[in-house]
Chains A and B, each alone.
Chain A
């Protein structure tokens, strides 16, 4: 279903995720393992903060002159004998690809991993349009998803993070697998299965990690080598890329590859880092027909807006690997093929607020994403930007919570109102408070705690006790005034009234 993977409300998805204990354990384990690998591989490189600055600069420059770089890139692709198509919408992209499939009479398509093709729902649309077509995802994880009746990915780098080896074994048994659940055996089976497809494939579709403007080459980064086979064997190749995948030079690509591999999987480099273009005259390597489809699909909404920096993203997935919300709700919790902090920022831009207005709120703004992002996207600040637009401009928030927030806004703007709140906090919340055993010492007072209430108080108290505020006479302000008055040399009395 394209970018949106679920139309259930966030709360429902969160509850479903909580039921999926295996998924939660698997995500936590992956996050913790990646934490160590990522830090180690970055330490090996040294000066990580300076690398980040460099990465940010490269991406910012690419975006600043994007139209020029795109033009330079497509000129170079054409010089190399390839074709370039700019697709404004997902429909344009799919229609164009379908046209190539028809023209070439392709019957067997092999694909390597590509988020943008998932975004435009390419596989299912191609299969629906052309009944006789065979299409195979050749990235191991994407292959598993396809064979599991097109299950949705839950991570942009590890799409099957939510599945365990027993589930994978079951899926493979439908294809004739008879072995155990050893990942090595499972992978070997998949490789043999896929190898046969590769040899007969007549059209390959790949994504693109970076598109190099000054020579028209496509840079692909994988650990399985399937993308290389996808390019090498079929006569026709189609590269599908988001319009922001551009980097100015090979040098820039090299720097970003270095950062991408460390951030994505904690490796110095992945097993395969490839640069390619169409077939060079006189050689037999590479596809005879080479097409690049550059997809906008609402990316230009971000260009020139407060959200431009999200287009710096190099799809490393590190923000998901550190996100404490993702840790619990998993990829499906976000209802978008782009989950985690990246997804919470990008999905409303690509898919609109109507579908994704809840995502910017699914964050505690802890900043772990901002801290880890190799190209310094201020992710948590962009989430606040979304909230601002939703609240200030679109008035999509209603109800008691909204009223309460307005009230807090007023209460924190007028000193006398706030002092009133301090004065009456105890009395105001007292009716909601009840006495009970004190477990959190030096925190919950014998007078009791609030265990329920309306609106935001209720949201808080659903989960945890709120200490009953002290009586006004016991407040810090009262203490301070008395304390200061008793001091031998009182300070500025005016300020301490």
Chain B
């Protein structure tokens, strides 16, 4: 199965370990991975800030780049960015050159955990990680992409990992892309509430499917001098893998 990796600008700029872990996991499950060099970003930073015209070029570039390899699927390590790609058909519907391509890209793009669980039917990725962890569900992944099950389902099978539910998990962490930098006074209060709830769980590890949120929450933990280990779900599922533990779902999720 050919898979194009949609690496996202945050992973390209900041978190190589996330991209590496994702690639290794995907390859473990038989994916032949490609990384088109012209891909950049889903366009959210500018589009969501109101620079609609200025974002058109980013949309087109991204569509061309992701389609430059004739792959079966496109997989990204960020729920928010994938949700944005899924909206491309709406943004490009009046662009005769790109409307069809936008639909094609949207139809085959999946968030990493969603792809493993829903498309590959992975039940147990074979990972082992000792520790107490909690999971931060990102707003865009749950509300815009509509994926609230796959990460929980996969994390439940990681050997040695104790998952502790997070109070007020539905509240935004205050990232919001450029919001975090444009309205720091509001964003700080939001991330502090999130940090408080995470600390209350007693977890040593914070896991999420969105590097943006992790960047926000992790950065705040560091600023406050509170200890935490920040892990993207791909890193968790790539930890101490024993392939004999791998199992597949008997019934595919609907």
Chain A residues packing against B (C-beta within 8 Å): 10-11, 14-15, 18, 32, 35, 322, 324-325, 327-329, 361-368, 370-371, 384, 386-392, 397, 401, 405-406, 408-415, 418-419, 421-422, 425, 437-444, 449, 451, 455-460, 462-467, 469-470, 474-477, 479-481, 483-484, 491-492, 495-497
Question: Judging by beta carbons under 8 Å apart, are A406 and B176 in contact?
Answer: no
In contact, A414 and B191 (Cβ under 8 angstroms):
no
> Are A466 and B16 in contact (CB-based, < 8 A)?
no
Beta-carbon contact of B65 and A415 below 8 Å: yes
Stretch at the interface among B95-103, B138-146, B240-248: B138-146
CB distance from B153 to the nearest CB of A (A): 21
Chain B interface helix/strand/loop/mixed: helix
CA separation between A139 and B132, bound complex, in Å?
50
Asked whether A412 lies within 8 Å of B37 as measured between CB atoms, the reply is no
Given contacts A362-B183, A409-B46, A463-B188, contact A415 B13 (CB under 8 A): no
The digit string for B33-55, where 1 denotes a CB below 8 A from any CB of A, is 11111111101011111111111
Give CA–CA (A399, B225) in the complex, Å.
33
Shortest beta-carbon distance from B94 to chain A in Å: 14
Distance of A440 Cα from B206 Cα, bound (Å): 10
Do A467 and B53 touch across chains, with their CB atoms under 8 A apart? no
- Residues of chain B within 8 A (CB-CB) of A476 are 7, 11-12, 15-16, 18-20
Could you show 12 A-B contacts with beta carbons less than 8 Å apart? A327-B190, A361-B182, A362-B183, A362-B186, A364-B174, A366-B140, A389-B50, A415-B38, A442-B17, A462-B188, A464-B219, A467-B215
* Per-position 1/0 for B154-186, Cβ under 8 A of A: 000000000000001011101111111111111
- In the docked arrangement, what's the CA distance between A481 and B36, Å? 10
Are A456's CB and B178's CB within 8 A? yes
Q: Decide if A14 touches B186 in the complex (CB within 8 Å).
A: yes
Q: Which residues of B contact A (CB under 8 A)?
A: 2, 5, 7, 9, 11-20, 23, 32-41, 43, 45-55, 57-58, 61, 65, 68-69, 139-140, 143-144, 168, 170-172, 174-191, 193, 214-216, 218-231, 235
Determine if A442 and B37 form an interchain contact, defined as CB atoms under 8 angstroms apart.
no
Contact of B231 among A322, A365, A442, A465 (CB under 8 A): A442
The 7 closest A-B pairs by CB, nearest first: A364-B176, A387-B50, A464-B219, A413-B57, A476-B19, A459-B181, A409-B54
Quick check: A477 and B226 within 8 Å, CB to CB?
no
Q: Chain B residues near A419 (CB, 8 Å)? A: 37
The distance from the CB of A435 to the nearest CB of chain B, in whole angstroms, is 12
Complex Cα distance, B49 from A328, in Å, reads 22
Give which listed residue, A405, A441, A449, contacts B228 with CB less than 8 A: A441
The answer to whether A392 and B219 touch across the interface, beta carbons within 8 angstroms, is no
A441–B186 CB distance below 8 A: no
Q: Determine the residue in chain A with the shortest Cβ distance to B180.
A: A460
B225 to A412, Cβ gap below 8 A? no
Looking at the assembled complex, report how far the CB atom of B200 sits from the nearest CB atom of chain A, in whole angstroms: 14
Decide if A459 touches B61 in the complex (CB within 8 Å). Answer: no
Neighbour of A497 across the interface among B37, B39, B51, CB < 8 A: B37
- Shortest CB distance A320–B (Å): 14
Q: Is B179 a contact of A363 with CB atoms below 8 Å?
A: yes
- Knowing A409-B55, A412-B41, A470-B16 are in contact, say whether A391-B50 is a contact too (CB < 8 A): yes
Most interface-central of B36, B181, B193, B227 (chain A CB within 10 A): B181
Q: Please state if B51 and A409 are interface contacts (CB–CB under 8 Å).
A: yes
- Residues on B with C-beta less than 8 A from A371 are 143
Query: B2 contacts which chain A residues (CB < 8 A)?
Result: 491
Assess whether B51 is in contact with A425, with CB atoms less than 8 Å apart: no
The interface residues of chain A lying within 8 Å CB-to-CB of B16 are 470, 474-476, 479
A174 to chain B, nearest CB (A): 34
Contact A415 B186, beta carbon cutoff 8 Å? no
Contact among B35, B41, B219, B228 with A418 in the assembled complex (CB-CB below 8 Å): B41
Whether the Cβ atoms of A477 and B7 lie closer than 8 Å is: yes
Which residues of the other chain, B, contact A439 by a CB distance below 8 angstroms? Answer: 221-222, 224-228
Q: Which residues of B contact A460 (CB under 8 A)?
A: 180-181, 184, 219
Which of chain A's residues has its CB closest to B38's CB? A415
In the complex, are the beta carbons of B34 and A496 less than 8 A apart? yes
Given A442-B230, A443-B218, A464-B220: A328 touches B186 (CB 8 Å cut-off): yes
